Amino acid sequence: MNLAEKKIKKPCASCPFRRVNDLGTDSPGGSEPDVYLGQARGPFWLPCHKDRNYADKNSDPAKVQQCAGAAIFRANCKAPYKLPDALLSLPEDHENVFSSEAEFYAHYSGASVEACKEMLDQGLLDTFLEIELRKQQVKSYE
């Protein structure tokens, strides 16, 4: 897969991984928080939804920049799995981007960070990842 050149270094104002953004809280960017958490853990190309060439889930990875917020979030959370080198990798930024899965989930669910820490163990986070991987597998058969 050819990916757009890696130019973006900071999350946009509408990035769901950004602590302060212009999104609502129920389904940031049109997806549930568990979708973002599953995709952030896995080998997914995550587009910047504000890229001028972004159309939808079927956007061309060669024309749409990768999400800087997702790359920073992966760094902040110390993504547990080796990700493909082609995916955007940026340094940690705990000031502008959520530092953990629990912070991210708490922000969008309205629950406390502590409650989210208890709920989001490695097993549940891996389940979110498995669900996203299965979605990709189903799409490849269509």
Average pLDDT of adjacent 10-residue blocks, the chain of 142 residues: 74 92 73 94 92 85 93 94 92 97 94 96 96 83 56
Query: Is 14 among the domain residues?
Result: no
Query: Is 67 among the domain residues?
Result: yes
CB 4 within 8 A of CB 65: yes
> Domain limits at 49?
28-141
Query: Is 4 among the domain residues?
Result: no
Q: Closest by alpha carbon to 90, among 37, 18, 23, 30?
A: 18
CB 33 within 8 A of CB 108: yes
pLDDT at 95: 97
Query: Is 13 among the domain residues?
Result: no
- Rounded CA separation 46/20 (Å): 19
- Rounded CA separation 11/28 (Å): 14
Query: Is 6 among the domain residues?
Result: no
pLDDT at 99: 98
Query: Is 22 among the domain residues?
Result: no
pLDDT at 26: 64
**Number of folded domains in the chain?**
1
| pTM of the complete model | 0.90
pLDDT at 139: 63
Query: Is 2 among the domain residues?
Result: no
